[in-house]
Amino acid sequence: MSPSTLKKTLVHTYMTLFTLPIIAMIVWYFLSATMNFTTGQFSLDNFAFFQEPVEYSGVKLPLIWPIVFNTIIYSLLIVAVEVCISVPTAYAFSRLDFKGKRAAMKFLFLMRSFPGITLIIATFFILVQMQLVNTYLGVLLVAITGSLPGRVYIMKGFFDDVPWDIEWAAMVDGCTRFRAFKKVLVPYVLPGIGAIAVFSFLGAYGEWFLFKLLIFNDDMLTLAGYLSKLITKENQIVNYGLITAIGLFYTLPIVVFYIFTQKIFMSVNLGGAKQV
Amino acid sequence: MITLKNIVKEYEGKQEGNKAVDGLDLEINKGEFVALLGPSGCGKTTTLMMLAGLLKPTSGEIYFGGRLVNHVEPKDRNIGMVFQSYALYPHLSVRDNIAFPLRERKIPKLEAYERAKETSKILQIDHLLDRKPAQLSGGQQQRVAMARALSKNPEILLLDEPMSNLDARLKLDVRDEIRKIQRNLGVTTIIVTHDQEEALAISDRVAILNGGKIQQYAPPNELFNHPVNLFVASFLGNPPMNLVKGTLEEKSGNQVVATNGFEYVLPEDRRLDKTHMGKQVLFGIRPHDIMICDSTDMQAIKMKIDLVEHLGSGKLVKAIDPQHKLETMIRILTGNEIEVNSGDNVYIKFKERKFHIFDMTDNGVNLLQYR
């Protein structure tokens, strides 16, 4: 055996050893959703939630389809709001000179690395005062406040990469500053906008904590929150078959989504941005 | 006509007195081709940006044909501009790039495309209209940038180092072409460049800038033959002008420049005012104004050849003083027919009335220019 094949074999063995547990988990995940463990037979009993509301050991949850609808609406709304706010904000941070820009940048960075969960009690009280508890607006506000700094920061990196010449050319060619932004800069940073849109969508799709905390009506939940309701302290006997079945239903769109958008992910590296 | 009056531009954040442009006056006639030439940081690009309206002057006035335009937005100035990086819009096709300024003027799409096509024909890029900028070579991108600047029939065309990203041979072609197009369209054109050959070749008049000030503003020929000061003289010309330290003296009725290596007697018609006698000066002569001669010639200077470089079209000879009194070496440009080898002792003489004398006590003013 030549040294290079030996090396290859070692590397492959090493990788396989570390991947095996993960593969095993995924296999178990599928099996647990699609098998009746008492009979050892293939069954789709766990997927009954497609047709009827979920009910087991004291937990009653509404039918899943309105929840799916909620999830889609909520996620798209988050994407729209975050993109609409972070793109102009990032432009301002990247291109304009205004008072307090440096301080704001520093604050942005601090906010990005601040563990938002430590503020959750204060946030809750504020929302109660504003009577926004148990409303989508409340969840939306808290979610966006938490994620915007990161989005702005990434977007700023993309704007920093746009040469000034391009913007100047547009202004000489008859654009106002705003029109140059709209007609030339936004198309230029489109990959960046795509990236933050994907991030926002995934973030919103996976948001369960805020729903658990701020939403009390089960029919207002999104999929992630719905799933988290299945595991509570009260029901110690956990129905893994049901959880994995709903989990699978919840994960598959994301896997598909990821396959189609991973290219956009690659254009963002380490919080900064690279031109694509 | 474009008039710049006492333009000052200070960038914020820079220290006091650090001005990018410092009291600049410039007049450009309609249809003229003017170059702004200078080393980097001399304020030439800043000046161009102020003409475009992308920067506002700190003080001073800019007039386009009698209209004060200090506060007119770039989009309302009717200018076309070509940037160093070309700054093509990457998401638009060549056709849309060229039509962009027209579309911004609310010209209907079909008409804009028609005009884009016409402009692209002038620049011979009409076969590229459907491509994206990324699919073009550097030279083609440059043409697209030119076409975009010209498509709206601008009053003024601004070129910011348009050829610095092209290779040497392409540069020559593009240079001729820009000149030809400019002449045909009669558009007032201002080019910023640090390449003196380009500036001298292409423009009607050249403004040489240094330290945010215009050093000299004249046709290329005059700049080369009658530099007003040491900066202009030493900046222009390749190989550069020879400069030898010396003093102005009066000897037996003649005015001479006395250097450590030689004394040069000024001809009768180049005599200077008596007040200049005794001053420290730099004696300047261009390499092609020096001839290799016989020992019997008038004012022949003995030199030793240190190095001979073959330039193809001629030879660049570097000569030193055999007694090592002269600190500087003398560069001489000769024809190929002259046989010289390093180590030879030769005699050189200066072509008459081709020398310059720069006053070292007065910022290197050329003492001969006011005659």
Q: Are residues A173 and B90, on separate chains, in Cβ contact within 8 Å?
A: no
Same domain, A77 and A149: yes
* Residue B17: band (very low, low, confident or very high) from pLDDT cuts 50, 70, 90: low
pLDDT number for residue A60: 76
Q: Which of A165, A174, A184 sits opposite B101 (nearest CB)?
A: A174
Chain B hits for A186, CB-CB cut-off 8 Å, are: none
pLDDT number for residue A237: 60
Percentage of chain B lying above the pLDDT 90 cut: 63
pLDDT 10s digits, A28-56: 888 888 877 777 778 777 787 888 787 77
Q: Which of A166, A173, A190 sits opposite B101 (nearest CB)?
A: A173
The verdict on residue A15 lying in a domain is yes
Torsional sign, CA A48, A53, A55, A61: positive
Mean pLDDT of B74-78: 92
Cα–Cα distance for residue pair B150/B142, rounded to 1 Å? 12
Same domain, A130 and A199: yes
> Which residues are paired to B81 by β-bridges?
B158
pLDDT number for residue A274: 36
More confident residue, B15 or B152: B152
Which tokens go with B358? 């720069």
Does B107 contact chain A (CB < 8 Å)? Answer: no
Q: Are residues A173 and B152, on separate chains, in Cβ contact within 8 Å?
A: yes
How does the average pLDDT of chain B come out, rounded?
Answer: 90
pLDDT 10s digits, B229-278: 999 999 998 889 999 999 999 888 889 999 988 889 888 888 888 888 88
The verdict on residue A171 lying in a domain is yes
Same domain, A9 and A94: no
The verdict on residue A99 lying in a domain is yes
pLDDT at position B291 over 60: yes
Same domain, A35 and A74: no
Find where tokens 């392409």 sit.
B170
Chain B hits for A163, CB-CB cut-off 8 Å, are: 85, 87
The Cα of B163 is separated from the nearest Cα of chain A by a number of Å equal to 15
Cα–Cα distance for residue pair A47/A33, rounded to 1 Å? 8
Mean pLDDT of B200-219: 93
Does A45 contact chain B (CB < 8 Å)? Answer: no
Total count of domains within chain A: 2
Cα–Cα distance for residue pair A231/A235, rounded to 1 Å? 7
Cα–Cα distance for residue pair B266/B299, rounded to 1 Å? 11
pLDDT at position A247 over 50: yes
How many A/B residue pairs have CB atoms within 8 Å?
61
Chain B hits for A174, CB-CB cut-off 8 Å, are: 75, 101, 104-105, 152
Same domain, A15 and A73: no
Q: Are residues A168 and B152, on separate chains, in Cβ contact within 8 Å?
A: no
pLDDT 10s digits, B94-108: 999 999 999 999 999
Chain A hits for B80, CB-CB cut-off 8 Å, are: 172
Percentage of chain B lying above the pLDDT 70 cut: 98
Mean pLDDT of B64-70: 92
Q: Are residues A163 and B87, on separate chains, in Cβ contact within 8 Å?
A: yes
pLDDT number for residue B125: 92
The verdict on residue A93 lying in a domain is yes
Mean pLDDT of B345-358: 90
Mean pLDDT of A169-176: 94
pLDDT at position A57 over 90: no
Does A209 contact chain B (CB < 8 Å)? Answer: no
pLDDT number for residue A266: 67
pLDDT number for residue A272: 36
Cα–Cα distance for residue pair B308/B316, rounded to 1 Å? 6
Which tokens go with B124? 């011979």
Does A162 contact chain B (CB < 8 Å)? Answer: no
pLDDT 10s digits, A216-241: 888 888 888 888 887 766 656 667 78
SS3 track for chain A: CCHHHHHHHHHHHHHHHHHHHHHHHHHHHHHHHHEECCCCEECCHHHHHHCCCEEECCEEECCHHHHHHHHHHHHHHHHHHHHHHHHHHHHHHHHCCCCCHHHHHHHHHHHHHCCHHHHHHHHHHHHHHCCCCCCHHHHHHHHHHHHHHHHHHHHHHHHHCCCHHHHHHHHHCCCCHHHHHHHHHHHHCHHHHHHHHHHHHHHHHCCCHHHHHHCCCHHHCCHHHHHHHCCCCCCCCCCHHHHHHHHHHHHHHHHHHHHHHHHHHHCCCCCCCCCC
Same domain, A37 and A72: no
How many other CB atoms are there within 10 angstroms of residue A83's CB atom?
Answer: 17
Q: Are residues B52 and A172, on separate chains, in Cβ contact within 8 Å?
A: yes
Does A98 contact chain B (CB < 8 Å)? Answer: no
pLDDT at position A163 over 80: yes
pLDDT at position A265 over 80: no
pLDDT number for residue A86: 95
How many other CB atoms are there within 10 angstroms of residue A84's CB atom?
Answer: 10
pLDDT number for residue A45: 76
Q: Which of A168, A176, A184 sits opposite B89 (nearest CB)?
A: A184
Same domain, A9 and A86: no
The verdict on residue A51 lying in a domain is no
Q: Which of A169, A176, A179 sits opposite B83 (nearest CB)?
A: A169
Chain A hits for B73, CB-CB cut-off 8 Å, are: 171, 176
Walk me through the domains of chain B, giving residue ranges and CATH numbers. Answer: 2-234 (3.40.50.300), 242-366 (2.40.50.140)
Instruction: Compare all CA atoms of chain B with the CA of A184 and give the residue at the minimum distance.
Output: B89
The Cα of B225 is separated from the nearest Cα of chain A by a number of Å equal to 37
The Cα of B73 is separated from the nearest Cα of chain A by a number of Å equal to 8
Cα–Cα distance for residue pair B218/B34, rounded to 1 Å? 10
Residue A110's CATH number: 1.10.3720.10
The Cα of B151 is separated from the nearest Cα of chain A by a number of Å equal to 10
Q: Are residues B81 and A168, on separate chains, in Cβ contact within 8 Å?
A: yes
The complex scores an ipTM of 0.84
Residues B239-275: b if buried by 16+ CB within 10 A, e if exposed: eebbbbebebeeeeeebbbebebbebebeeeeebeee
pLDDT 10s digits, A142-156: 999 888 988 998 899
pLDDT number for residue A276: 34
* Residue A273: band (very low, low, confident or very high) from pLDDT cuts 50, 70, 90: very low
pLDDT 10s digits, B116-160: 999 999 888 999 999 999 999 989 999 999 999 999 999 999 999
How does the average pLDDT of chain A come out, rounded?
Answer: 85
The verdict on residue A129 lying in a domain is yes
pLDDT at position A270 over 60: no
Instruction: Compare all CA atoms of chain A with the CA of B158 and give the residue at the minimum distance.
Output: A172
Same domain, A94 and A122: yes
Instruction: Compare all CA atoms of chain A with the CA of B86 and give the residue at the minimum distance.
Output: A165
The verdict on residue A83 lying in a domain is yes
Contact by Cβ (8 Å): B340, B330: no
Mean pLDDT of A118-135: 89
Same domain, A118 and A179: yes
The verdict on residue A252 lying in a domain is yes
Q: Are residues A190 and B100, on separate chains, in Cβ contact within 8 Å?
A: no
Same domain, A37 and A65: no
In a mutagenesis test of the A interface, which of B46, B56, B91 is the best target, namely the one with the most A β-carbons within 10 Å?
Answer: B91
* Residue B66: band (very low, low, confident or very high) from pLDDT cuts 50, 70, 90: confident
Q: Give the residue numbers spanning the domain of A108.
A: 61-266
Chain A hits for B91, CB-CB cut-off 8 Å, are: 187-188, 190
Chain A hits for B90, CB-CB cut-off 8 Å, are: 187-188
pLDDT at position B331 over 50: yes
Burial of A58 (0-12, 13-18, 19+ CB in 10 A): exposed
Does B153 contact chain A (CB < 8 Å)? Answer: no
Same domain, A107 and A13: no
Same domain, A79 and A210: yes
